[in-house]
Structure 1
């Protein structure tokens, strides 16, 4: 009786030291190998369980792919075994198993879910949500499960048409397409997706410029000086807005996650959840004044009202979403009171900071680094020194001075 088994073929090694994972086909004490397209270092393979181990960063995705391979060939082998007309040697069995073999049936939804869980484990909840939304839209379009190798150029064109007909904006469509492209790129690098079907060789992801979300110095000054009842929801929403503004556009989830231990020597030190980049921002008196209003000796956090104390990653995401919606609801009301044309949100704080810094004459590169963006040519940028905290502190001081004095 023929058998199939996943194994790492350590007899073969590539220039980078990795070996191929193969499916060993054994019949009548003779063996041959069926390639899977996966290459691993020997330390990343569990010999006893015949699986990729935790040392590989994409363990789940690769095991999903390999099991898909194995199940496909096992099903074919069972059909052959039930046919009395088939009685062949191991080489002929391999030919029959692999002839006209279809691409492995890896579901994009399952592969995507593993990627989402990986992002969530890193507390990159914003990125994870973008993939969740894109996969949901894709599943809605396909009417159910989507196989990785079904996604070709024609599929993407039909998906775009589906979204357009439902009134989805060009930039939202672009966000969905970028998520799909990222998953296909990752699957291709892992040897899971068929590169012949790759749709983004020819499909161009289109975007359009959106109206500026920034507000002028005069508007922000009016917002800062607006008479709002102390302790009200609007009062707290405005405080949150100016904390984001004063901390150079810090994201909402990073703001409410700040701990007292992140405050050292008059600076806030934190790691951005979205990118993992480290920040060090000098505290302006305005920021210190606002934070002092929420000080609670027994709390580990600078803004204890958001109840982030012992929150799990899932709870952090939930609390952040609730807090952001509530804050934006009251900021919108404040914006209406001020007669603003555009909706006032926490994002306006970040965009306004950048726009004011630009009007003050600071370079795009310095503004980009202040906000945590890459600047200039990414290759040559590797050899450039960062601007340093002192210059960024100076920009922030000037931006805040234009509003407050």
Structure 2
């Protein structure tokens, strides 16, 4: 028979915080498991072995958190004992404590997510690793950097996290994105049989809202193309990259950044989308060449002046360039009277919108660059005769003249 009790050890200094510890008794042997939980004597009820939270306590939030952590610690200790007993293992109290310490190190959400991130990077999935890291950072802010065990994640915690993000003004799709990453992490732990499935995400939103339309009309694209930015090189460069994306049928910025010189051959750009791995072929036009001719030849293997150094980290160059371009595009938006947040991604939406306005069949271009999913759109476009799409692009570029 094993018993686990929560105990409070007062400080030897009057009115100073004491410590919580767990008393584990097994086979008449008693061991203590110390914690770093600190309480004032007035915050502990010795008879009930529980924290006392006064209605007007300034430490209420801290005490509620400590009470929750103690609850999960005791439950975890009982689970360890139960598992040993069910397997018929002859164990000692030291082994219970050792298993508890191991679990605390390996089965915490923060540690587990970090291990997933490392694994993703090792498999070359850098972008996915970055999304996991962004989610972890967001959740850490919500928790004030206080880690939590995987089996302590429940629907109330997720509802509180969702409410926290809403209060911060975070967009629904971003909230859903973080929730889906956390759910994937949680499900990984379930698959590894580290925890039981409790479905903690059942009451939070994990869908995808249709985004607010971010396409610009052709008249505004013309303004952006013709505005004089000769005296402002960063804005001029941002405009050039924006127009290049538009000319290239709304090519995403990451695909532009990693487009190689060898991808341009015999008057055509041939590349694979980094997001979907779908191969696309685009006719190289004089509009594209005019922009490329404005800049010195890139000393790297890449075609466009985005990743320009062979010594610096390529991904950091791409991300920094993207940030600077989008900041400059916001200034350009003010100059041309656009009241939406102008970014490189707007070029992609705009090409699709203009294509549709020119009567190009939905089967060729479909609203927003395809169905409800960008990946589905690219798969569909890849199955068409490239000349059909190039003809559509030609009509759009002529309309700019």
Q: Same fold judged by TM-score > 0.5?
A: yes
Match of 1:38 in 2: none
Whether contact under 8 Å (2:306, 2:321) holds in the other structure is no
> What TM-score comes out, normalization by structure 2 length?
0.66
Is residue 387 of structure 2 the alignment partner of residue 396 of structure 1?
no
Is residue 283 of structure 2 the alignment partner of residue 285 of structure 1?
no
Match of 2:343 in 1: 345
Whether contact under 8 Å (1:354, 1:367) holds in the other structure is yes
How far did residue 164 of structure 1 move?
Answer: 2.2
| Cα 1:142–1:370 shift into 2, 3 Å | closer
How many equivalent pairs are there?
A: 312
How far did residue 295 of structure 1 move?
Answer: 4.5
Whether contact under 8 Å (1:107, 1:145) holds in the other structure is yes
Whether contact under 8 Å (2:280, 2:382) holds in the other structure is no
Larger radius of gyration: 2
Deviations 1:108-138 (A, max 9, x none): 2233223334444566554433322211121
Match of 1:110 in 2: 111
293-302 or 208-217, which deviates more: 293-302
Match of 1:46 in 2: none
How far did residue 193 of structure 1 move?
Answer: 4.2
Match of 2:332 in 1: 334
| Cα 1:147–1:335 shift into 2, 3 Å | same
Choose the corresponding residue for 1:179, options 170, 178, 181: 181
Whether contact under 8 Å (1:177, 1:205) holds in the other structure is yes
Whether contact under 8 Å (2:257, 2:304) holds in the other structure is yes
- Tell me, what secondary structure is at the counterpart of 2:281? strand
Whether contact under 8 Å (2:349, 2:369) holds in the other structure is no
RMSD between superposed Cα atoms in Å: 3.9
Match of 2:29 in 1: none
Match of 2:53 in 1: none
How far did residue 359 of structure 1 move?
Answer: 1.9
User: Structure 1: which 5+ residue stretches go unaligned?
Assistant: 1-71, 81-87
Q: Distance in 2 between matches of 1:191 and 1:263?
A: 49
Choose the corresponding residue for 1:93, options 73, 90, 94: 90
How far did residue 252 of structure 1 move?
Answer: 1.9
Whether contact under 8 Å (2:306, 2:317) holds in the other structure is no
Q: Distance in 2 between matches of 1:320 and 1:297?
A: 14
| Cα 1:375–1:168 shift into 2, 3 Å | closer
Q: Distance in 2 between matches of 1:141 and 1:91?
A: 41
Moved over 4 A (4+): 101-105, 118-126, 206-210, 368-372
Q: Distance in 2 between matches of 1:256 and 1:387?
A: 25
- Tell me, what secondary structure is at the counterpart of 1:199? coil
Tell which has more relative contact order, 1 or 2 (C-alpha 8 A, sep 6+): 1
How far did residue 276 of structure 1 move?
Answer: 3.6
Whether contact under 8 Å (1:134, 1:176) holds in the other structure is yes
Match of 1:262 in 2: 263
| Cα 1:352–1:249 shift into 2, 3 Å | same
- Tell me, what secondary structure is at the counterpart of 2:280? strand
| Cα 1:115–1:250 shift into 2, 3 Å | farther
Q: Distance in 2 between matches of 1:187 and 1:357?
A: 46
Match of 2:245 in 1: 244
> What TM-score comes out, normalization by structure 1 length?
0.65
| Cα 1:293–1:142 shift into 2, 3 Å | same
Is residue 251 of structure 2 the alignment partner of residue 218 of structure 1?
no
- Tell me, what secondary structure is at the counterpart of 1:241? helix
